[in-house]
Amino acid sequence: MEGEPIKVGIVGSGFAASFHYKSYIEISGRKVEIKAVYSKTREKCEEFAKKRGIIPCKSLKELIDLVDLVDLCVPGFLHEPFSIEALKSDKHVIVEKPFTGYYGPKRGKNFLGNKFSKEIMLNEAIGSADRILEAEAQSNGNIFYAENWVYAPAIQKEVEILKETKGQILWALGEESHSGSHSNAYVVWSQSGGGSVVGKGCHPLTPILYLKRLEGKLRNGNPIKPATVSCRTHEITRNSKFIDAGFLRTKYHDIEDYAQIHIVFEDGMVADVFASEIVMGGVKNWLEIIANNHHTYCNLSCTNAVKLFNPRENQLKNTYIVEKIETKQGWSFPSPDEDWMFGYPQELSDFINCIITGKSPQSGSELAWDVIAVLYSAYVSAEKSGLEVKIPQR
């Protein structure tokens, strides 16, 4: 591959595929060629391809044969089969979050995730993650786990601080909350693999796990792993006493819209993750690190670099302000470069660099496996009204 551009194929044609494409074209240095796209809906696939001047593929196999790197921007229930198919062809794979999960029995027409055994879910989700990692081990391709939070500039500053201070993280806290996902697949467990625990909780959880792994490696060469978890989940907007004022996404089929997750690590230190679909006014993306020699607050969402007053809503109808803001009227804080603040270009740049150099990514398959183990163990705990549960280890 020396001297040649890395050929990328995007699988999916929705929200994630669009911002991944935008991030690729911003990568500096070595050239990346976005070669093709494949999407289940033929019309959307052709529209996505035509707009960007790339090849619309009729099948996943056709796309795999054209590229070096397969970027999966599809719902989680497709991640395992698509990843394994690409890895069998010795292609590198980017897997969006959630890495994988449990999506119900194969012929489960009446499947309801919020009523189903969470022990079975945990075992099946771990089995799925194992199969992906086993396929990676037998392939010349690598898995890159697309958790952008790991690469967000605010989090990377904490990485720098942790490396310099050799600090011990005593307590980590994080949250992602907003008024509901963009995705139509999100509301149904059989397509999303869960609600706020999986869809939102994975974001703050992953950098927390990453930072504890890094802390352990800096101190004695061994990652510090999560040991136990306790969790509570709620279905706030499905509660009979919930008053719908029309501002929040509702009508979730069988998923929770609120979660609290408490993790205890092997070294006895702790973390708390909050995730919900019930917060208006934009996205709450933050991480707080309380260490024995420093204290860092990482705010991914908020910036005051631009402060705007807009007296009339419709005069900015074509101007993007910030994700999930409900109104453009009045005072707001437009993000100058939201994708950069959230780490998307940095994430993909790291993956491309790893393909070139053979280095391991900051966010790889082992970290992805741990995330799944924690999240589905959290569901087991929630099913037991918050009892502490041991997390499986690989």
Q: Residue 225 is part of a domain; what is its CATH number?
A: 3.30.360.10
- Tell me: do 319 and 382 sit in the same domain: yes
Hey, what are 48's tokens? 């996505």
Q: What is the pLDDT of residues 60-92, one digit of tens each?
A: 999 999 999 999 999 999 999 999 999 999 999
3-state SS class at 308: strand
Question: Computed from CA positions of residues 124, 94, 72, 343, in that sequence, does the dihedral angle turn out positive or negative?
Answer: positive
- Tell me: do 91 and 231 sit in the same domain: no
- Tell me: do 294 and 190 sit in the same domain: yes
- Identify whether 57 is part of a domain: yes
- Tell me: do 43 and 65 sit in the same domain: yes
Number of helices (H), then strands (E), belonging to the chain: the values are 12, 15
Hey, what are 59's tokens? 């099948």
Give pLDDT < 70 ranges for the chain.
1-2, 28-30, 107-108
Q: What is the pLDDT of residues 261-305, one digit of tens each?
A: 999 999 999 999 999 999 998 899 999 999 999 999 999 987 788
Hey, what are 311's tokens? 């007296």
- Tell me: do 74 and 177 sit in the same domain: no
The Cα 59–Cα 45 span in angstroms is 11
- Tell me: do 260 and 165 sit in the same domain: yes
CB proximity list for 116: less than 8 A, separation 6 or greater: 104, 189
What is residue 47's predicted lDDT score, i.e. its pLDDT? 97
- Identify whether 216 is part of a domain: yes
Strand partners, 288: 173, 297
Task: CATH number of the domain at 99, please.
Answer: 3.40.50.720
The Cα 308–Cα 334 span in angstroms is 7
Of 88, 116, 146, the residue at which a domain comes to its end is 146
Write out the residue range of the structural domain in which residue 348 sits: 153-390
The Cα 103–Cα 198 span in angstroms is 12
- Tell me: do 95 and 197 sit in the same domain: no
The Cα 105–Cα 109 span in angstroms is 9
- Tell me: do 253 and 159 sit in the same domain: yes
- Identify whether 382 is part of a domain: yes
The Cα 274–Cα 26 span in angstroms is 32
The Cα 348–Cα 366 span in angstroms is 18
- Tell me: do 177 and 299 sit in the same domain: yes
Preceding peptide of 98 cis, ω within 30°: yes
What is residue 259's predicted lDDT score, i.e. its pLDDT? 98
Domain count, the chain: 2
- Tell me: do 230 and 378 sit in the same domain: yes
What is residue 107's predicted lDDT score, i.e. its pLDDT? 66
Of 105, 131, 146, the residue at which a domain comes to its end is 146
- Tell me: do 164 and 136 sit in the same domain: no
- Identify whether 1 is part of a domain: no
The Cα 192–Cα 259 span in angstroms is 16
- Closest to 256 in 3D by CA, of 242, 268, 238: 238
- In 10 A of CB 288, how many CB atoms? 18
Question: Computed from CA positions of residues 266, 268, 269, 270, in that sequence, does the dihedral angle turn out positive or negative?
Answer: positive
Strand ranges inside 204-257, DSSP E: 226-234
- Tell me: do 139 and 172 sit in the same domain: no
Of 130, 146, 162, the residue at which a domain comes to its end is 146
* Vertex 90 angle, CA 89 and 95, to 5°: 95
